[in-house]
Structure 1
Amino acid sequence: MARLTVRVTPRGGRDAVEGWSADEAGRPILKLRVSAAAAEGAANAAVIVLLAKALKVPKSAVRIASGDTARIKRLDIDGVDDAVIFAAFGAPAG
């Protein structure tokens, strides 16, 4: 299982992975944008679909561990490790 921190921009016009950034403490964060609004969990569902498709895992393998209502979310992803995440999205800078 891999743990991934993402920053989500809801109503971003399209569903896409924007690349890596860092939080204020210097930890890597994967930036995502989804076209869905943040209302009624639609953006969270779009994040799960986007990451499951990019990582070639079932949607059920992607869970929001924390940050359900925040832009910064921590996700648990079954069936992958950091190497798979870096292969899909590149390695974070730094």
Structure 2
Amino acid sequence: MKKQVKVKPNSKQQKIEESEDGTLIVHLKSPPVDGKANKELIDLLAKRFNVPKSKIIIKSGLSSKNKAIEIDTN
């Protein structure tokens, strides 16, 4: 399953919202430094979709707020 994700780092609380076009808007507590926000994003998505963290891959946008994520649900 492929998802478009918009990340909002340095938020006061963690939460995941879904916009009208299906893009996930993910609020993260971590700053976008040393991959901390990406790690938190993967942790949060793994819990949300009930898959191991190893099944989530950031396909593009590693250093961007807009990311393409692939989740292997098999």
TM over 0.5: yes
> Partner residue of 2:33?
39
Moved over 6 A (4+): none
Q: In structure 1, how many angstroms separate the alpha carbons of the residues matched to 2:20 and 2:9? A: 17
Shift of 1:15: 1.5
Q: Secondary structure at the match of 1:54?
A: helix
TM-score normalised by length of structure 1: 0.74
Question: 1:21 touches 1:31 (CA, 8 Å); kept in 2?
Answer: no
**Identity over the aligned pairs, expressed in percent?**
31
Q: Which amino acid aligns with 2:27?
A: R
Unmatched tracts of structure 2, length 5 or more: none
Unmatched tracts of structure 1, length 5 or more: 23-27, 81-94
TM-score normalised by length of structure 2: 0.92
Q: How many residues align?
A: 74
Shift of 1:21: 4.4
Q: Secondary structure at the match of 1:49?
A: helix
Measured against aligned partners, the alpha-carbon deviations of 1:25-50 in whole angstroms (never above 9, x if no partner) come to xxx31111000000000000011000
